Structure 1
Amino acid sequence: MKASKPAATFAPQEVRRFISPLTIATLVILTGLIMEAVSRRPAPNLPLAFYGGLGIAYIATVHILLLRSAFRHGTYRVINSVLAGIGIGILTYLLSERLNEITHILVLFSVVVMTMISGRMYAYLTLFLIMAVSLPAELSQLRTAEGILDYTTPFVVSVIVAEVIIRIKNTAHQHIHRLEIINQVSREIMQTLDTKQTFALLDKTIQDTLGADTYFIGIVKDGKIQLELFFDDGEYFNGMRVPFEGTLSGWVIRNQKVLFLPDLREEVELDGVERFIIGRDRTSLSWIGVPLKAENVTGVLALASYAANAFDRADLELLISLGQHVTLALDNTIRHAQVERQARLDSMTGVYNHGYFLKLLAEQAEEASRTQTPLSLIMLDIDYFKQYNDTYGHLVGDRILNSLCSAIQRNIKQADAVGRWGGEEFIISLPGATGRQAHRIARRIGETMRSLRVEDRDNRTVPIPTVSQGIAVYPDEANEIYRLIDVADKRLYVAKERGRNQVEPGEEFFQE
C-alpha cells in the first residue's frame, strides 16, 4: 500500500537509451523503404522515397530534442503525437499491400516510443490519429471478419504493449522514489544523535510513503517489547509495553527473520504465536515485521493494515531498508550516550566527576536564582582514609568509596547530584533544600555509613570509617558557586578540627 506521490522521472539521456533500439530499427525500415522506392521499376516511387527521407529527418529531430527540457512541455508532446499519428497514417496510402506488415510494425514502434517519452495519453492520441487517417484506405478490407481482425490486431497489440510499458515505468518510478526516500532518511537519521528525533523521522517517512493503518517500533526491555513509536488508525499509543512471548513481534525478534503476512484471514502456522490486539480493538488483516538487531538494540519494526493484501514486496523491501537505517541510528545514539555518560562520571565510583559536577552545579544555581529557591551544598570527606588504606589495603579502600557513594545516593533525591571532588572527598548538591534539610540529609548519610558492612579479601569484616561534612546554602551564604564551595569546604575542615565524624555547622545554625 503506497501513499500518492509524484512519480520520479527519467532523465532525457535515459529515455534516449531506452528508445535507441526502436529508433535504429525504424531508421533501418525507412532506409529500406527509400531503397525499395528508388529501385522500383519501371519508375521509381518518388513520393515514398521522399516520405522515407522526411521520416528519417523527423526521427533525428525528435531524438535530438529529447535532450532539451522544452520537449517535455505538453505542447511539444501534442505536436509530436499529431505528426507521428498523421505521418504513419499517410504512409498507409503510399505502401503497396504486400508492405502492410511494415505499417503494423511502425504502429507498434510509434506507440512504444510515445509511451516511453510522453505517456499514455499521447500514445493513445498517436494511435487514434493513425486509425483515423488510415481508415479510408482500409474500408474495403473491413467488409470481412478476417479483414477486421487483420486491421485491428496491430492496434490492440499496441494498446496491450503500451499498458505493459506504463506499468513497468510506474514500477521503476516507484523504485526510484523509494531509493530517494531511503537516501534522504539515511542522511537525516545519521545527522542526529537524538532518539526522539530518530523516531520522528521514521514516523514522517512511513506516513509519507506507506499507507499503513498501524505501525510501530518496539525495543526489548526487561523481557517485554516497549513500543517507542506506535501509531494506530490516527492515534498514537507511544510507550505501551506488550508481551514478548506469543506475539508476532516476539516471533520476529526471537527468530531474527522477516515476517510477511499479506492475509491474516488465512491460518498462520507459527509456533507459540497467538492473536494479540493492541491499540484500537480491531484485528489487522495484513502484517509485516522486520527485526532490528545491533549491539545495543534488539527490537522490531512493523506495519499492519485492517485490509487484506494491503502490502506488496516493494513495501517489504522499503521497510527492511528503513529498519536497517533506524537500527544503526539507534545503536549510534546509545553508543554516543554511553560515551558522554562515561565522560562525565568518575570511573571508579560511578558518580559525577569534578568537571561535570561543576557544570551541573552552575546550572542548578542558575535555576535556583530564577525560581528564588535555596540550593544547599554538602562537602564530605572520609576520616583518616589514608591510614585506613595503609591498614586494610587499597582494595578495601575502593570498596569503602563505592559503599559511601551508595549510601549517599540512598539518602538523596533523583534531582540531587553527587560528585567526586578528589581522592576521598565528595560533594553533594541539593536543589530546593534548606540548610536544616541539608543537615538532616548529612546526618542520615553518616548513620547509613556506620551501618555498612565491608569485608576484606579474606572475607573478614573490617571497621567502617566515619565521615566529616560541611554545609553551605546558596544564595543566603554565597551567591556564586565557587564561593559556595569555598564556604562548604571551610566548614568541612572545621568539622575535622573539632574531632571529625560530625556535620558543620550544627542544625541550630540554620533558621527555617
Structure 2
Amino acid sequence: MKKASGSFGSHPQENIIPILPAIIAGMLNLIITVAATLLIQPDLSLMNRGILIVYAIAGCGYIGIYYWIYTTLPNKAIYTWVNAIIAGTALGLFIDFIPPELDYLVHSLVFIASLSSAVVSDRTPSFSLIGIVAFFHSVHHILHQTPLITWVVHGVLIVAALVIVETVLQVKTLAKNQINRLEVVNEISKQIVSTLETSQLISLLNAALYNALETDTYYIGIQENDSLQMQLFYDDGEYYPDIKYKLEGSLSGWVIKHQKPLFLPDLRKPLNLDGIDMVVIGKQQPSLSWMGIPMTGSHVKGIIAVASYRPNAFSRADFELLNNIAQRAALALDNTYHHALVEEQARLDSLTRVLNHGYFIRSLREQAETCRNLNQPLSLIMLDIDFFKQYNDSFGHTIGDEVLVNLCSIIRSHIKQNDAVGRWGGEEFAISLPNATSGQARQVAQRIRGTLAEFKMSGDSHNPIPVPTISMGIAVFPDETDDVQKLIDLADHRLYVAKERGRDQIEAAPTP
C-alpha cells in the first residue's frame, strides 16, 4: 500500500488491541509476586521487605502512568524508548529479589510488558525491552551460578516473549492495512457518490488506484460491442489515450463474459482458461501479475484491472480492495452514463436525434461568441421541407417521420463535427456552420439538397415513394449582423423568400 501510516500508534486507528486488560494483569501480577515472596520468605530482612513493597507501589504507579500516557498523549514515540529502558531495567533487576521458585511470575510480567510495548510501539523498542531484561537476567544467573537447565528455561521464556511481540506486531500490521483499505474505499465512495460527469469520475478513480495499490499498470475499460474501449489506461508512468482492442481471447474478455473476478498472481504459470491469449498493450512488456474485476450496471458493462511486472505482486487483501473499488466504480459509472443519457434526451429531439429548439439556440450563441473572439464568420442555414403537410396527408405520418429522420442523417453526413443541426419546429431545421463563409454554406446546402433528391424511399408494398423538396435561407455572422437573434430572423426571412420564388431553392446574401 502506498498510503503511509504512523509508526507508534499516534493515530486512533492504530490503537488496535485494548491495553487495559494488560495493565490490570500487570498490576495484579506484580502485587501477587511481591505478596508471594513475602509469604514464602518470612525471614526476609526488613530492608528487602521494604524494597519489595516499594517495588510493588512504584511499579503499580508506573503502570498507571504508562496507561495514562498511552490513552492521552498524541505522540508516544519518545516515551516508548523511555519505557523500554525503565521497564526492562526494573524487570531485569526484579529477579534479584524473587525466590527461584517464583521466577515464572517475573517472566509473566516480562510477557505482559512486552505485549503492552508491542501494542503502543513498534518492533525495535519492544525487542530492546526484552533484550535489557535478558541482559540483567543473564548477569543474575552468572553471579548466582545457576544450573544449565535454568539457563535453558530462561532462554526459552525470552524467545517466547520475542514471539509474542512479533505476533502482536503482525496482527497490528494486518489490522492497520485492513483499516487503511476500508478508509480508501470509504474515501472513494464519498468522492464519487455525487459525481455525474464521466470524465471527472475517471479522474477520481485514477487517483484512487494510483494511491491505493502498488501496481505498474491499471485500466478501466467499457465494453462496446465486441471491443473494450479504455476510459483510462496507465502503464509504468505513462497514460495511453484512446486504446481499443478486441475482447475475444483476452483476460478482460473472459472476466466480462463470465462476470467473475480473476486473480492471477503469477502469469509465468500456465493459465487454466480456455481460449485465452495474452494480449500486450501499452508498453511492450508482459505483465507477471494480474487482477481483473467486472463492472456491471444497467447502462454500462466493463472491467477494472491492475497488473504488475513482478510475479506475486498482489495479495488476496489487494484483490478484495480492488473488488470493493470496482463495485463502487460500477455504480458510479452507471450513474454518470444514466445522467448523460438523461441530458442527451433533454438536449435532443426525440424523433430525429438532432438538437431540439432550445439547445440549438444555446449552441448557436456559444458558437457565435467563439467566432467573434476568433474573428471568424459563422453561417446559419434555415431549412424547411416543401409542402410537408400535403406530403403527410398523401403518404401518411409514418413515411413523413421517416423523411425527417433520413433528412437529418443526410444533413449530418455533409457537416463537420463542430457544426450543429437542430430541429427548429415541425419540418423546419437550422444548421450552424462555424468558420464558414456564405459561399461555403451554399455549397453545403447544395450537397444536402442534391443528396435528398437522389434518396430512394419505398412504402410497405415496396412501391417507390417520391421524396419532398427543401428550401433554404442563409445568413452570415457577423458580416450581415452581429446579433444572433437578427441572424436567425434574416436566415428565416431568406427561407421564405426561397419559398415565395417557387420552393426547392437556396436563398443567400446577394453576391457583390
Q: Tell me, in whole angstroms, the C-alpha distance in 2 between the residues paired with 1:12 and 1:256.
A: 39
Alignment of 1:237-252 (within 5 A): 237-252=240-255
Q: Which residue of 2 aligns with 1:56?
A: 60
Runs (5+) with no aligned partner, structure 1: none
Instruction: Give the RMSD, CA atoms, in angstroms.
Output: 2.5
Q: Which TM-score applies when normalising by structure 1?
A: 0.91
| Distance in 1 (alpha carbons) for counterparts of 2:508 and 2:274 | 68
CA–CA distance in 2 between the matches of 1:477 and 1:281? 57
Change (3 A) 1:252 1:372: same
Partner residue in 1 for 2:357: 354
Tell me if the contact between 1:34 and 1:48 (Cα under 8 Å) persists in the aligned partners: yes
Q: Which stretch shifts more, 449-458 or 199-208?
A: 449-458
Q: What corresponds to 1:190 in structure 2?
A: 193
**CA pair 427-80 structure 1, distance change in 2 beyond 3 A:** same
1:5 aligns with 2:9: no
Query: Where do 1:111-130 residues align within 5 Å?
Result: 111-130=114-133
Bigger mean CA offset, 186-195 vs 116-125? 186-195
The answer as to 2:502 corresponding to 1:499 is: yes
Q: Which residue of the partner structure matches residue 395 of structure 1? A: 398
Deviations 1:162-184 (A, max 9, x none): 11211211122222222222222
Listed one character per residue, the Cα deviations across residues 73-105 of structure 1 (whole Å, up to 9, x for unaligned) are 433223322221122123212211111110111
1:13–1:67 Cα contact (<8 Å) kept: no
Q: Please, what TM-score do these two structures have when normalized by structure 2?
A: 0.91
Identify the range of structure 1 (38-47 vs 58-67) with the bigger mean alpha-carbon deviation.
38-47
Q: Is the 8 A contact 1:38 1:46 kept in 2?
A: no
Q: Does 1:315 align with 2:314?
A: no
Deviation at 1:267, TM superposition (A): 1.7
Distance 1:239 1:437, change over 3 A: closer
Q: 2: CA distance between counterparts of 1:500 and 1:148?
A: 114
2:283 to 265, 280, 284: 280
Deviation string 1:128-182 (CA, Å, 9 cap, x unpaired) is 2223333333225666432221221221111111112112111222222222222
Is 1:379–1:426's contact at 8 Å kept on the other side of the alignment? yes
Q: Which amino acid aligns with 1:363?
A: E
Q: Which residue of 1 aligns with 2:266?
A: 263
Question: Equivalents in 1 of 2:329, 2:16: separation in Å?
Answer: 38
Q: 1:443 to 1:242 in 2, by over 3 A?
A: closer
Matched, 1:412 2:415: yes
Alignment pair present for 1:68 and 2:69? no
Residue identity (%): 41
1:319-357 CA distance string (max 9 Å, x none): 112222222222222111111111111112211111111
Residue 301 of structure 1 aligns with which residue?
304
Asked if the contact 1:287–1:302 (Cα under 8 Å) also holds between the matched residues in 2, the reply is yes
8 Å CA contact 1:378, 1:470 repeated in 2: yes
* Structure 2 residues not aligned, in runs of 5+: none
| Correspondences of 1:19-418 after superposition (within 5 Å) | 19-36=19-36, 39=39, 42=42, 45-69=49-73, 72-139=75-142, 144-418=147-421
Q: Once structures 1 and 2 are overlaid, which stretch shifts more, 26-35 or 423-432?
A: 26-35
Are the equivalent residues in 2 in contact too, given 1:286–1:305 (CA < 8 A)?
yes
Counterpart residue identity of residue 19, structure 2: I
> Is the 8 Å Cα contact of residues 76 and 120 (structure 2) preserved in structure 1?
no
* Aligned CA distance change for structure 1 residues 236 and 403 (closer, same or farther; 3 Å): closer
Deviates more, 1:252-261 or 1:215-224: 215-224
SS at 1:421 equivalent:
strand
* Distance (Å, rounded) in 1 between the aligned partners of 2:249 and 2:410: 42
Q: Is 1:476 the counterpart of 2:475 in the alignment?
A: no
Tell me, what secondary structure is at the counterpart of 1:18? coil
The Cα of 1:216 is off from its aligned counterpart by 2.2
Partner AA of 2:418 in structure 1:
A
Q: Which amino acid aligns with 2:28?
A: V
Contact 1:215–1:303 under 8 Å retained in 2: yes
Aligned length: 507
Q: Secondary structure at the match of 2:472?
A: strand
> Alpha-carbon deviations, 1:243-295, whole Å to 9, x = none?
31222221111111111111222221111112333333333222212112222
Match for residue 436 of structure 1 among 435, 439, 456: 439
Q: Which residue identity is paired with 2:80?
A: R
Q: Is the 8 A contact 1:374 1:475 kept in 2?
A: yes
